[in-house]
A and B are shown apart, each in its own frame.
Chain A
């Protein structure tokens, strides 16, 4: 199955075959980042706008690098949501950017649904780079790519997700992706952050636990969520100290997990709070692999959305840009 959608708004609406195709494509791109010259002409002449309504360093940089390694022209636009509330509507923003004919708009927004609304209001392809507490599809894809790289599969794995599930778009996208691909997911966290309604969040494959020890039991993968203080309007737990003691992942927890369990975190980490440094920096931690895979996944997403589905780009293997340029100009490479 190919990925032929115009937008990537979330994981919820994707078929398992589409997810697999995105991951396969990302795998072929991973190699480009290991080259000396990390650039291929796949999206030459295409324009990608990174429209960030919420501050982000990691995701924005990752998208920017991904676009540049594909030779797209990447433009970063930061819009503070306060200026939006001063008068410019989402529709105005979208129309203004569209008037510049981008091939893809990557959107990060602090409010859920903004990418869906932009997709409906305008005509440009939209990639959701995280919207409020809703979805963060490229994060789930890069997590899946990391899991596949280390476990060889996703199906029938047991994955524990620990922390603030209620406010986490990363958790939502991961629950959708992992259960669609046949994994079993156990989530655990403070009762204020893991409401019972999560029991019916997806049809099968999701379990809610009160204690993180129970969620981690026999887990092949342990994902720790960031405590997102910016998305909480009031205290959901008494103190950071209490959180660290009862819900922070420490080394002894991993003894309950499978012997070869891997630990992941979407970053940036609050050391000593949701994850102990000894775990974050330990041998089972794949936190930096996730970052590396983030570039490959975003290259795949941009390639499929700003390239393939926009027509004509259909190259299996790319040569470095300089080679391609030289060939075009009839020169020999020295």
Chain B
């Protein structure tokens, strides 16, 4: 099966492409760009991308799917459907399910459920330690054979530095990147929001930025010691960004990602005790946001990741102290990333790097994050001019926990192609696949 994506503006930083091109996909792989004036193949379905942006498929390094164990919040299928609706062709599923993904059997189950769903590619992370308890190494080699793409004890930071060192040394032997949710729990325990002016006003227990800073600094030091590839999940503090910047300057193999809510909102959003503003790490203040924007600008931050964390409405209807951390983010991330473009923080090329090129490199996902010949035919098609309002009632996720309901954004993912199949097309853009007419007009 052939798909021709015609007349789109292609940005593929992996090959330095930044121009209008006709892109041909065949049998799940990229055939290549058509030469100028080259005839459209007769047997190709044509997707007219005039006025749209065509990019290598977006890869979310940080997704929480709740299957197995909490399917009432999200299944692999519902999460993957939300992913493609938000422009993500690949989602990397965190291992904190029930049971935790610390064995090849769970890894295989997640991969199979992802394949059954036929939306986004679902690539699991394995646990770093058994049961993510921080005590014994998990079977990383066996899980790697079964298909994990990285290792992490996300949500349960490894407290013991000696344990973390071992885990890094061991993961390195399998070329697995170690992802760490950096938070020193002796400083943040019991906290429910950023510690500062607003936590004092609201009488809520704070999580100081220092809890993140000291943990990131520790991880950087351990990355240097072990030579492992370390990826810091969802950096949210100035100290974390600065620590990663210094580590990179020293040539240490450290990368980091940022989640859209951390640059979009600040801790004053908590003022009404809306539990959809409760996440970990927490929303921080304007100074920290400024540091994140600087990190996005100067390349310290390598990736945009959603930290999509579905929770049931009943759980979020509890007291602020008792409600679980996290928000859904797959369908709003790209709209919020376009806000960065509009503010001049990043340009479109950088947006594609942050959502596709670099994520593929961080987890060494071969033949992804690129539209080079023979790469996987994963393509994200965006309309930078689309003004739209997020209505969570229409979300493909099973959960509704978002602070962005009703937010109007400019720029959206409108079509998503995974393995050469059009798995999502925004209903407003169906005219684009009127194959015969397009073929005729092209001749």
Contacts and interface: CB of A to CB of B under 8 A. Distances in A.
Contact of A12 (B196, B201, B205): B201
Contact of A135 (B203, B205, B321): B203
B322 interface: yes
Interface stretch (B89-97, B127-135, B311-319): B311-319
B202 interface: yes
B163 to A, nearest CB: 24
A111 B322 contact: yes
B272 A112 contact: no
A201 B197 contact: yes
Interface stretch (A41-49, A84-92, A217-225, A301-309): A84-92
A134 B202 contact: yes
B202 A111 contact: no
A111 B317 CA distance: 14
A112 B320 contact: yes
Interface residues of A, number: 29
A116 B272 contact: yes
Contacts, number: 69
B200 interface: yes
B368 to A, nearest CB: 42
Contacts of B319: 84, 90, 109, 111, 113-114, 117
B51 interface: no
Interface string A186-218: 000000000101101100000000000000000
A112 B202 contact: yes
A84 B321 CA distance: 12
A6 to B, nearest CB: 15
Given A89-B317, A111-B321, A134 B203 contact: yes
Contact of A113 (B195, B196, B273): B273
A12 B202 CA distance: 10
Interface string A165-196: 01001001000000000000000000000010
Nearest to A131: B203
A320 interface: no
Contacts of A90: 317-319
A132 B190 contact: no
A228 B191 CA distance: 18
B271 to A, nearest CB: 9
B159 to A, nearest CB: 16
Nearest to A53: B319
Contacts of A198: 200
Contacts of A139: none
Contacts of B189: 233
19 contacts: A84-B322, A85-B318, A89-B314, A90-B318, A90-B319, A111-B322, A112-B202, A113-B273, A113-B319, A113-B321, A117-B273, A117-B319, A133-B204, A133-B205, A166-B200, A172-B203, A197-B200, A201-B200, A233-B189
Interface of A: 12, 84-85, 89-91, 109, 111-114, 116-117, 120-121, 131-135, 166, 169, 172, 195, 197-198, 200-201, 233
Q: Which 4 A-B pairs have the closest CB atoms?
A: A134-B203, A113-B273, A133-B203, A112-B203
Given A111-B319, A121-B317, A132-B321, 18 more contacts: A89-B314, A89-B317, A89-B318, A90-B319, A91-B317, A111-B321, A111-B322, A113-B273, A113-B321, A117-B319, A131-B203, A133-B205, A135-B203, A166-B200, A172-B201, A197-B196, A197-B200, A201-B201
